[in-house]
A and B are shown apart, each in its own frame.
Chain A
């Protein structure tokens, strides 16, 4: 049988999405969460392009959608990383636990005088 088929491509993209979601839920650092989001996005793009190849072979709309999504991903990475830099400068800590209690009074050790 042909190894290069639509089910195999979809299984690969689904595996990528699962790996990325595991990273999103398990890693504590925000940078690693962003990297896992990139892995998930990669899987989704792969499924898009493979559907276009195997099913709708008359127009390249998924290639266009791929370009659109990596544009959005670039902007998201830039804004997220700048937010991470600001948070790191303010709190010297970019774990999820620190970010989730932004509004509380308990200042960490490195947070000014």
Chain B
């Protein structure tokens, strides 16, 4: 929790990303305590492994040398005077909201009757896959689980399309800027690629 607080407070974005990975580890321990061991493993593998690596990669790609708080590119947090006062007000508001809301939630959650786990192998991978993939013909979870993969495919296509469209717009609109961005792979014109024309060899049917 302290490291996730530091995520939003620290100025260097690379350091913030690494702190976020650090804050994922106790969260995954909490998941494992909640008998959600597969979720805990997934938290480390997918979140800390893949998504945070994506963040780190992008940060290092667009800003290889962040310089503390003076960097205008990354907008390194509260550096002006008024901004610092605003940050202080926001922090005080956050603490007050926390002191108001958290005891309310705590009290309300204390009233909730706790039903203990009654399943013998709750949270194990076998029972989870039973939940997801048993009777796939009329199980809505199977369908929606496969729809996630379709969503990820759409996301990949969208991300590729963004970078490609920038490449073509760079040639037209921003003349001086295209010279900087031309070293990207996506700026290579597609029609300049060599067309492989191979005569069908006679020994192949």
Say whether A68 contacts B54, CB under 8 Å: no
User: From A30, which residue of chain B is reached at the shortest CB distance?
Assistant: B75
Say whether B177 contacts A71, CB under 8 Å: no
| A15 with B98, Cβ < 8 A, contacts A6-B109, A86-B166 known | yes
CB distance from A35 to the nearest CB of B (A): 6
Specify the main secondary structure of chain B where it touches its partner: helix
| A74 with B155, Cβ < 8 A, contacts A64-B132, A92-B73 known | yes
> How far is it, in angstroms, between the C-alpha of A21 and the C-alpha of B102 when the chains are bound?
15
- Interface residues contributed by chain A, number (CB under 8 Å): 78
- Residues of A whose CB lies within 8 Å of any CB of B are 4-12, 14-16, 18-23, 25-29, 31-32, 34-36, 38-39, 42, 46, 49-50, 52-64, 66-68, 70-79, 81-86, 88-90, 92-96, 110-113
- Residues of B whose CB lies within 8 Å of any CB of A are 1, 4-5, 7-8, 13, 16-17, 20, 23-24, 27, 30-31, 33-36, 38-39, 42-43, 46-47, 50-51, 54-55, 58-59, 61-62, 72-78, 86-87, 90-91, 94, 97-98, 101-102, 105-107, 109-110, 112, 114-119, 122-123, 127-128, 131-132, 141, 144-145, 148-149, 151-152, 154-156, 158-159, 162-163, 165-166, 170, 173-177, 181
